[in-house]
Structure 1
Amino acid sequence: MGLHLLLVLYSCSGIFSKLASGVEFLSLRFCLYYAAILAILFIYAIGWQQALKRMPLTSAFANKAITVFWGIVWGLVVFGESITLPKIVGAALIISGVILFAFADGELHKQDQAEAGQDGDA
Structure 2
Amino acid sequence: MSPILLVTLALALYLMATIAWVQALRSVPLSVAFMFNSLAFVLVPVAGFVVFGEPIPRFFLLGLALIIGGILLVTYG
- Give the TM-score, by structure 1 length: 0.56
CA distance in 2, matches of 1:46, 1:33: 20
Query: How far is 1:76 from its partner?
Result: 1.6
Larger Rg: 1
Residue 60 of structure 2, aligned match among 76, 87, 97: 87
Cα deviation digits, residues 24-46 of structure 1 (max 9, x gap): xxx82x44333332121111111
Identity of aligned pairs, percent? 35
Residue 55 of structure 1, aligned match among 6, 13, 28: 28
What root-mean-square deviation, in Å, do the aligned CA atoms of Structure 1 and Structure 2 show?
A: 1.7
Query: How far is 1:68 from its partner?
Result: 0.4
Asked which structure has the greater RCO (Cα within 8 Å, sep 6+), the reply is 2
Residue 76 (str. 1) matches residue 45 (str. 2):
no
Cα deviation digits, residues 47-68 of structure 1 (max 9, x gap): 1111101111110001111110
Where do 5+ consecutive residues of structure 2 fail to align?
A: none
- Give the TM-score, by structure 2 length: 0.84
CA 1:54/1:43 → structure 2, altered by over 3 Å: closer, same or farther? same
CA 1:33/1:75 → structure 2, altered by over 3 Å: closer, same or farther? farther
CA 1:62/1:45 → structure 2, altered by over 3 Å: closer, same or farther? same
State the secondary structure of the residue aligned to 2:12. Answer: helix
CA 1:74/1:36 → structure 2, altered by over 3 Å: closer, same or farther? farther
Where do 5+ consecutive residues of structure 1 fail to align?
A: 1-26, 105-122
Match of 2:9 in 1: 36
